[in-house]
Each structure stands twice: as C-alpha cells, then as structure tokens.
Structure 1
Amino acid sequence: MDKFLKSGNIKEVDESVEQSGKRKGRQKSDIWNIFTRLPGGNSAKCKTCGLDYRTGGNTTNLFNHLLRAHPTLSHESKPVATIKTFFSSNNYYENNSAHKKELDKALTRMIAIDMQPFRIVEDRGFRDFVYYLNPRYILPSRTTLRNVHLQNMYNEMKEKLVLILNNVEYCAVTTDGWTSRANEFYVTVTCHFIDKNFVLREAVLSTNKLDIDTDQTSNNIADSMRAVLLDWNILHKTSTIVTDNAANMIKACEILKKRHFPCFAHSLNLVIQDVLARYFITGTLSRCKRIVTFFKNSSIAYAKLKAAQNDENPLSLIQEVPTRWNSSLKIMERIIKLNCNISSVLLSTKSTSSIDCG
C-alpha cells in the first residue's frame, strides 16, 4: 500500500469479470467518493473543502490535494486489488446524521473554549488523531467550521442569553478599547447583572471594531456601544458604564446619557505611576529596567544568570508592564533577590558598559 502513497497517484484497477479473461471495463477509482466531476470532464470539486482541481485525464492532482489538505481521507482512497473493495460502500457518517452533528458541535466547542485556530482541522497530526479515534468521522473544512458551525453555536448561545437578559431589571456595562497584533482597534462590551438567585453574573456581549474604524472619537464610540446595547435590548436597563479615564470614553457615556464610573484599577494605576515618576524613585527604577533589558537582549548573559543560581528551577527577571503598577514592585523584588547572581554575571561580562548601576 505504501507505494501508492509515495507515488502520489491513484491508479485505476481493472478487474476481469469474465471467465475468458477479457477486460470488460475499467473500474471507477475510489477517489470519486471524495471528488465530484464537473461538467466537461476536465476538472473536479472536492466535497470536503469545495476547491476545484483540473484532472488532466488522470487523478494525480486530486490525490496530491488529499495528501496536502486531507491526509486522513487519503487512507480511504487507496486502491485495494479486491472486488470486495469496489462493491462495498464507504462507511462515513452522513452529514445530516445525529452523531455527525454532535461530533461537529463538540469540535466547535473545543475550538471556542481552547481558542484554537480554525486551521487545526487541516493539520495532519490532528486529522490522523481524529481518524484513529473514529475513522467514520470526516472533519469539516475550516470554512464550514467558521461560517456554519461556529455561527450556529453563537446563535444558539445568544438566544439563551437574550432570554436571561429579558428577565433582568437592571445591569451595568464595562467596556474598553484595545489594539490587536494586526494593529486593529476593537471595543469589547461586557454586561454584569444579578440573576434570580441573587448571584452576580457577567457575559461578553461583543468584541467588534467601531462603526467607523478610522474614527475613535466619543461620538463614534457612543454610536458603536448604542448599537450593541440595542441589539441585546438592554440599553434602557443599563444604569452604569465602567470605563478607563480616557476623555473620549467619558464623553461617550455622556452622549449615551448613562452614568460613568471610572475603573478603580486604572485610577489606582495612574496614582501609583505619578508616585513612581518622583525623582527619588525614578532613578533606581530606571537602572532596574536597564538591567532587565540587558539580560533579556542577551541569551548568553541570561544563560549565565540561570547557571549562577545553581538551582534546578532558576528564577527569571521580570519586565515592567506600564498598565500594571505592581510590576514595578516585582522588578525590584526580583533584582534584590538575585542581587549576588546578577552582580557576578555583570562583572564577568564585557558588554555591560551601557548599564549604569551607580
């Protein structure tokens, strides 16, 4: 069987069905259980992902597509030189079967909970793992997973949450803007309420771009938040909106005519940052940051620091996070704890002239 995989081709197998030994006809390749021949006969469409490929009179392109995108299915498309193979139908779950739907739902839930990428269904290792768990289950394509199964799960969960929010008399909303790694600005809106059992609950209602993604003014933020709250039918139930101390966020609450409550953690961080900017602290903190930057930028120095600790679980230096005031405290605590080790490495390293530890 391995020679068929290595050759990258599926050969059609002829079977003699007459006692005279004469050829009666060519048996149709099993690969056509996975592809559909398109009008004209020169191309075919994959039933799994919907892509079209030219056949050129043979099935080489089709088989190569299976090896690249659907390696598990390639196991099912290998020819077997027995008549039994050609007369037996495949044993896959039908798309409308109850068990197939439950498996698709479980897969979608796993991706949502674990925040896995949709392309996991194209990874060969994952596909092989699923195949050995249940050879009858055909994984959906990433497009179907994203546009169909995930959307269905979202609609189902939204209906449940809408019913819960309809029975809530008042709620509060927290919101904040953030920038993704792709440098795109998003606003997340979270609802907080007390259920009928007097338990505090929260639910993320939306994480979307602004209505006009080139405009971060208070009016655009207010319009975007109003659309979200109206969509969930809680605009009239919202008593308070919690945001950071940004002027555009505060103004947006005024436009919505909702009480604004500043985030306590953000307010505390602003106070602490003012204290850390005082002259009697900023000098020491700056030196600590330069030491951490030096070790983070030098793999050799970092390896020496771990070796100097002579411990099975050596400690690492901590970097500052400007929005987390306690990170400055943790930087200095860690440097004090590793003071002797840091000093020995710096004294034995030549490229430390940029560090002023005076």
Structure 2
Amino acid sequence: YEHTKQQQFFTYYLKLKAKGFQIIKSAVTCENLWKNLKKKNCFWCKFLIAKSKLFLKENCRSDIKNFSATTGTSNLTAHLEQEHNIRDEVTLATSSSRMMQSFFAPIPKVASATLSTTSTKRKLVIDITMLCCRDLFPFNVVDGQGFLDFCKKYGIMSEPTDMPIRTTISRCLDFVYQNCKAEVIKCIAEYSPNDVSYTFDQWTDRYRRRPYSTNTLHYWDKDFNAINLTLKTNYFPKRHTGENILSELELVLDEFGIQNKNVCMVTDAANNVRKALRIGKYDNHLCWGHGMHNLVYTDGSTYTQSAQKERIQKHVSHLTPYNIIQYQRTLIKTTKHIL
C-alpha cells in the first residue's frame, strides 16, 4: 500500500514538474504530508506546489499558510481545481463510476415485507403526510416512480402496492393537523412562561390573491433556548379593520390557551394593527426591522442627509420605549457610516 502511494506521489511530482511547478516548503511540511498521505489520499501530493506564475497571487500564498497538516482534502482539491485548473481525473472518474454503478444497479428485493401490519402502514401514511406538509410537496409525490424506487432501494417498502395513494395522504391531513395542534397546546401549557412575545401579520397570496393572517408565539424555555411556534395561518377575507383584526387575534389566543398570559405584541406600524391592539389594551412594541427598512429604502431616498439624521433620532426614540442614550448614539454613528 505504501509503495503504491509512493508511486502516486512521484507521478504527480513529474506531472507538476512538467508544467513548470517547483516543490517548496510550506505550512504543510513533507513529514506531515507523508503521515497524512498514508492515511488519506494523494491530493496532499499535489499541494506541494508554489513558486510558479500561478502561485504569485497573494491569496494563494495566504491560503497555503493557513492550510495545516490536518486540513481536509476537499478544501485543497477545491483550491487546486478553481484557482489552478488541476484535477485528479483518475480518482474522480473512479468515484463517479462507482456512484453511477450503484445508482443503476438493480434494486434488491426486501427479504421480509416491512409493511406487513396495518399499524406500520398507518405510520407510513402519517410520515408521508408530515413530509408533504413540512416541505410543501404535492400529495401526488407518492405516484412518482423515482420516489417509489427510492423507498424500495432503502427498504422502506417491498412492493409498490405498499405505497399509499395520494387520496389516502390527503384524508390523513386533518388527523395530522389535529394531533400537531394538540402537541403545540400541550407544549405551551407546560413549558411556556407567563410572559411571552407574540407576532402576527396580514399578507396576500401572490398566486390567487387571497388574504391571510399568520400568528407566531415566541418565548424562552427554562434552558434559555429561543422557541418560535407558528400557531396558525387563517384565511382572512374580511376587511382589515382594527375591530376585525382584534376579533381574529383573540380567537387564536383563546384557541391556544394564551389569553391569560402577559402577551407583548410585536407588529409593524400599520394604523389598523395599532388600532386593534389599542382597543384590546395589549402591550405593543413596533418591529425594529420594519422601521429600519422604511428609513433606508423609503425615507432615505427622499430626504437630505441632515433631515435623515433628525428623522432617525426621532424614529429611534419612537421605537425604543426606554431612554437608552448610549444605544441611540451608537445607532446614529452606525447610520452616519451607512449614509
């Protein structure tokens, strides 16, 4: 094995020598190189190059210095291919041919049917429904030949008849939703603190132009992990008045058992949203991202630099309910740099 590696080493050395490369000492020393060469592959051989016209670039020199003896060969290979057009055709061809042979190999039959019981088939239906919901796949993904071959190859099923049809998946959707909803309600009741944050926003589907409202709960658990739970996306065909928004909001709060918690609402500065929270007497904080977006992309193009400074100062004091003078000064300095 070591003799074969030595042959590969000198083969690459001769190839590089013929192209005008010279062997130099770098951060990857010959001793460390040979240690890695025995347990890795011959890409380390090719990286003993410099002092050529191709390596006069400053970034190449810094890259070589940063590469240590334990650097993965993928980084070295990518650098050689992208910067110097040096490829290991033999290794790549061998690896690619093996992968393609594996891909086109006949799919072995599963010795015993893994979906012999009704409960196991039911679990498969639920899991595929969850897959379609989380990644927004269409239900007819189960009809695709590629998906069937994938499941057969990795032993998920033994026969095509074990795969549920798309109507079965669609009928399971309500069951999955109700169970997920019950788990979310249980999680909120057991793990969420009394003080939580809540965001909601109205948006319109660009395809069918249908209005929706999405509600999200945010809190910190006992281990100080930030938890974000998307509770519901409602179809909202009513007029987006403050009263209608408040009515829909309170329905969601009651549905998920949040009505008795101290809820801090984080929203944009839309008048109808602010009116809804003012009627409901909720603590409302304006979204910092919306405010800065309007300053940079809307107001920034219509006001002079001095006027922008004044508006930024007023906007910061409006968005920040507390008198944090130092924070405002830092933000103003940053804004000056941006402007």
TM-score for the superposition, normalised by structure 1: 0.47
The structure in which a higher percent of residues are helix is 2
